[in-house]
Structure 1
């Protein structure tokens, strides 16, 4: 759940509600405002700020302010120039649709990039490199999206498999070990099947990397590392999963890249060596031509 949503659903005292109302109506004013100044403007006591923070699950006012402003900046970024749910209209011509989808995909990748945290990415790299096996847990759609990641990882001799809801997902979680790194993909972060798998994975001592939406969702809480999917789409009143799919693909490509770069020269040499042996595709352009060596 987003902080702004928690603020709407939580019960506050009159003084606390005054603070919350000011935050939601004047977020741009909070950046450089001290607790004393905020208390004076809202005619409240500084201790009320602490109580609001505690009710929303934060240790103190500073943590709440930082998280709230980060969320506000994200939700109000320039991304909204194209609607993630209805990126084109029925009167748009074909080239207009093509242009809008290209812009949407570019915006989505930049949006996902803005949500990345260096420490989280480094932790994800460590867990993937340490694992003897990597398992992807996701819905049937997310499993199909993940297939290219599996192919890439297997090309550099990494043991990666997919456990989707259409296969024996519970068994895959049960047969995982402390040498397993699970990548759990869920846009909502509240998928019951995925939550059941996470409970089992935690019992087995497996490490868990989640790809999920922003906000305080359950899957994110239960994961060792979370990488955020761009969060702009409604559940079903949309043309397609354009942005969430693009975001997931980008994050999986990124995870492959951080594994690859750890042994960059070795991995590149291995891919070239295997390609020289097995890749016999015919080409139609010199751009594709390889200079094979024996």
Structure 2
């Protein structure tokens, strides 16, 4: 597990430790240049707090913290010149727009990989494999990505529900039990409907896999399993969700691929056989 994910997953932090953790997540590159006292001053905490957080991360000192942090950030170093919220200027040519978006997509892939935890992916897929019913809860444009995941799974004979209307989402959650698995897509946990849905799912003891940003999300406390999206963009102040969409698509495609790989030969045969059946009907 990379260092940013470790920090995000920490629980039972004191208020000052939480402040320090949030500072490192928001300023990882600055942290690389700090001595313990400099980091403490920048985050407005004590040096003792710095060392307590380092210990809770299972590290031996500031040097090891920097090594792990540098390793986590190494793939993103080449893309620091792009404003991910406003990558397009009025004066940009179509070529410049294409080039800037390309840099955003590559940085997004790198950051998604940095946050990726293979063990968490395996565990999340096992939750889906064990479930009799899989439900995806999302809002706004994320519903399109949920529907695409539903299509992918249906191609291998796995039915996935994607309730869309607020009332139907609440009803679906209320009807769920421990035989269900819930994929919940929420960047920051700001939507009231998803907040209500997750609380109902938790009360009904439904296993929850939360796909979220590395920022604070009030839904995280209800989810036993978490997968983190790239967290570059501002939630509101931006032209579009270029990075977030790319990261979410990558995560859902990876979940599908790992699920597919669990019974590879069977899934290949299933898809080919069914496409042959459909092609016969079209002739």
TM-score norm. by structure 2 comes to: 0.76
Residue 148 (1) aligns with residue 153 (2):
no
Deviation at 1:62, TM superposition (A): 4.5
**Closer/same/farther in 2, CA of residues 254 and 229 from structure 1, 3 Å limit:** same
Per-residue CA distance 1:202-227 (angstroms, 9 max, x = gap): 11111111110014432223211111
In the alignment, structure 2 segments of 5+ residues that lack a partner are 9-14, 41-45
Deviation at 1:146, TM superposition (A): 1.4
Tell me, yes or no, if the aligned pair for 1:132 and 1:159 is still in contact at 8 Å: no
Per-residue CA distance 1:35-80 (angstroms, 9 max, x = gap): xxx58x98xxxxx6555677x8x97475797889867865994243
Aligned to 1:277: 277
Deviation at 1:263, TM superposition (A): 0.4
Deviation at 1:11, TM superposition (A): 6.5
Query: Which residues in structure 2 correspond to 1:109-188 (within 5 Å)?
Result: 109-166=109-166, 168-188=168-188
Q: Give me the CA root mean square deviation.
A: 3.9
Tell me, yes or no, if the aligned pair for 2:134 and 2:159 is still in contact at 8 Å: yes
**Closer/same/farther in 2, CA of residues 96 and 280 from structure 1, 3 Å limit:** farther
**Closer/same/farther in 2, CA of residues 172 and 53 from structure 1, 3 Å limit:** farther
Deviation at 1:147, TM superposition (A): 1.0
Aligned to 1:260: 260
Query: Which residues in structure 2 correspond to 1:34-183 (within 5 Å)?
Result: 38=36, 51=49, 60=56, 62=58, 74=73, 77-78=76-77, 79-166=79-166, 168-183=168-183
In the alignment, structure 1 segments of 5+ residues that lack a partner are 5-9, 43-47, 283-294
Aligned to 1:291: none
Aligned pair count reads 258
**Closer/same/farther in 2, CA of residues 197 and 249 from structure 1, 3 Å limit:** same
Residue 217 (1) aligns with residue 221 (2):
no
Residue 28 (1) aligns with residue 44 (2):
no
**Closer/same/farther in 2, CA of residues 148 and 179 from structure 1, 3 Å limit:** same
Aligned to 2:191: 191
**Closer/same/farther in 2, CA of residues 59 and 242 from structure 1, 3 Å limit:** same
